[in-house]
Amino acid sequence: MIALGSDHGGFELKEAVKKHLEERGLEFKDFGTYDLNSCDYPDFGKAAAEAVASGECDRGIVICTTGIGISIVANKVKGIRCALCSEKTTARLTREHNDANMLAMGGGMIGKVQALEIVDTFLDTPFSELEKHSRRISKIED
């Protein structure tokens, strides 16, 4: 199950991601926002991150206008490794090297086609399991 969250600046891209996940047959839980009315990204980023940290959801995708604020919020939740990605290479590397469990994107920064490619790369790339990466993740968690 994938946790989703966005503010008004990421709402339209989140809706596109939801449709894409449905087409892929992947389950998700939408933690809001549910319309284009102005709102505060910390409310929705935190809710999605807590769902991932608790194990309710396996991974999360959060979106605000730039992706910066909502990624900061997600990373405040213990156990979350959220990476802000704007292209496929960083999405692949954050999974391989950091075992990131959340993806952040900027709804005002990237287009739909590129965003969905990032989502697919993030979801389809496994952690490398290399000792050096596991060691570094342990240091992050400490």
Catalytic residue ranges: 64, 97
Query: For residues 36 and 39, what is the distance between their CA atoms, to the nearest angstrom?
Result: 8
If one counts every other C-beta atom within 10 angstroms of the C-beta of residue 94, the result is 23
The token pair at 81 is 């490794």
Instruction: Measure CA 99 to chain center.
Output: 12
Q: Cα-flanking dihedrals φ and ψ of residue 77, to 5°?
A: -85, 125
DSSP structure string for 77-94: STT--EEE-SSHHHHHHH
